[in-house]
Each structure stands twice: as C-alpha cells, then as structure tokens.
Amino acid sequence: METKSLVGHADDNTFESAVLKTDRPTLVDFWATWCGPCRALAPILEEIGKEYNGRTNVIKVNVDESPKTAANYGIRSIPTLLFIREGKVRETLVGLTTAGNLAEFIDRNLPG
C-alpha cells in the first residue's frame, strides 16, 4: 500500500496561494527533472514532510515549468531550498544537503 506524499507542488499560478498566503511556514524546493542532486534530495524531502507534518509545508517548484517564480526568487542554481514564513524568505539553502542539516535549517526558522 502506497502512502500519500506529504510533499506538495506549486507553479507560477499556484505559488502565491500554496506558499505565500498559507498560515503555515513552508519549505520550498526549487528543482528540475534533469537535476541529479534534485532527484537525490527528493526522498529526504519526503522524510522531512512526514517528520514536520502539521508544523511546516513542503512544496516543490519545477524551475522549467515555473520560470516566473524561479526568476522572482533569483534562483540561479538548483536545488535551492527557501524557508518562507509569513510570506517572507527567512533563509536559503543551496545544493544537496543531508536530512540532519535540513532538519536544523527548518528548526531554526520555525516560529519560537
């Protein structure tokens, strides 16, 4: 039995409602299908989605399908992770990372 993914997706049309207007802090992963490090990060994001379910959203944005959103956030290399809270970028993490580093990244950006 397959479990439902706790990682969502947004694009140029849904980014505002899925990320900026939500009342929950959001970890945003800018990625692309052709990016090896992005594919390596995907299972880590699934784990983070489970671990932080209810406390933070995890949203993936494909840079090839959402060029406007990627440009708005100055995405120059992928994977790039943004932690967005109350509509503002709190911190940015560029490149492949470990689950432990990602958990620390989220913990230091969650509200008090």
Residue 38 annotated to the active site? yes
For 48, other C-beta atoms within 10 Å of its C-beta total 23
9 DSSP β-pair partners: 60
Closest to 59 in 3D by CA, of 13, 1, 20, 19 = 19
Residue 35 annotated to the active site? yes
Catalytic residue among 28, 35, 81, 106: 35
Catalytic residue among 7, 19, 38, 45: 38
Catalytic residues: 35, 38
